[in-house]
Amino acid sequence: MTATPVLQINHLQKSFGHFQALKDITFNVNAGEVFGFIGPNGAGKSTTIRVLLGLIRATGGDATIFGQDVWHDSVAIHRRLAYVPGDVYLWPNLTGGEIIDLLLKMNGAHHSQRTDDLIKQFGLDPTKKARTYSKGNRQKVALIAAFSQDADFYIFDEPTSGLDPLNERQFQLAVLALKQQGKAVLLSSHILSEVERMCDRIAIIREGRIIETGSLAEMRHLTRTVINVTLKTPLDVTQLAGVHNAEPGQHTNEWQFSVEAKALPAVMLALTEHHIMALQSTPPTLEDLFMHYYTTEKE
């Protein structure tokens, strides 16, 4: 990769008094990629994003966007950045339409045809006062303002937690369109199916530390594939190296087990010797990966 990453974070740390919210955060986001940032509540996702926005100041390490320091050059960075917070708080006595326009104008942009299209697509009533909006509608206001802005880097902090499935789909299409235009997107989420579907690379954060970064395919190598196999001749698969949680199935010689990625070739060889009659392999889902990191490495 020759181009400099849009976002570079190096050993970022943040303490609130004695509490260390971020211990070691390191990852990059490149142009033209959707980067998933996942972790449970309280792991430090929003804190990281607030450091990136210059709302709070890092106590260690550094972070740059477009090669500029996130604290000192926040104003310059924000000219080319769009952000949708996880909890959208809007000024209660302004209408949604007014807020969208205000946010656009503050970036030097204007209410365009695209804004009207987005309002229609997301099904927002822009004449209502923000006080009367539900969580989903408040999120729509922030999303419409972000998508109708022409930025180079988009940050979404759990943007779909209040949206219905139809609007979630609108959101995914819009993010895909950004990716095709070569924009960089940082998507923080704990809706794993969404991340799995949209993201090119993923970072997993736990207790203020990035514990894994990479593409989903790369990560799959780190964990186990679930295999459901029916053999012609008997074999005690529990004896094979790298096999876990083996359980006999309903039929004779049917087994269900999970196997480590590195042991897969040897296991497959052993199975073939006993004449495979049926085989189903399920690659680990992001959810499996997630559970894997959070349950097995918790010690």
Instruction: Output b/e per residue, 238-266; b: 16+ Cβ within 10 A.
Output: eebebbeebeeeeeebebbbbbbeebbee
Of the CA atoms within 13 Å of residue 188, those in its CB half-sphere come to 23
Query: Does residue 222 contact residue 215 with C-beta atoms inside 8 Å?
Result: no
| Smallest gap from residue 58 Cβ to another protein (A) | 10
The footprint of another protein on this chain (CB under 8 A) covers a number of residues equal to 44
| Smallest gap from residue 98 Cβ to another protein (A) | 4
Best CA proximity match to 171, nearest among 152, 150, 190, 185: 185
Identity at 70, one-letter amino acid code: V
| Smallest gap from residue 292 Cβ to another protein (A) | 32
- Which positions from 24 through 53 interact with another protein, judged by CB under 8 A? 50, 53
Query: Does residue 278 contact residue 232 with C-beta atoms inside 8 Å?
Result: no
| Smallest gap from residue 84 Cβ to another protein (A) | 9
Q: 55 vs 173, which CB is nearer to another protein? A: 55
- Which positions from 56 through 95 interact with another protein, judged by CB under 8 A? 56-57, 74-76, 78-79, 81-83, 85, 87-95
Best CA proximity match to 54, nearest among 36, 32, 69: 69
Which backbone phi and psi does 35 adopt, to 5 degrees?
-110, 125
Which stretch, 54-62, 170-178, 182-190, 205-213, contacts another protein (CB under 8 A)? 54-62
| Smallest gap from residue 234 Cβ to another protein (A) | 59
- Which positions from 92 through 121 interact with another protein, judged by CB under 8 A? 92-95, 97-103, 105-108, 111
Query: Does residue 135 contact residue 162 with C-beta atoms inside 8 Å?
Result: yes
> Does residue 11 belong to the site contacting another protein (CB under 8 A)?
no
Binding residues for another protein, rule: CB under 8 A, are: 16, 50, 53-57, 74-76, 78-79, 81-83, 85, 87-95, 97-103, 105-108, 111, 126-129, 131-132, 142
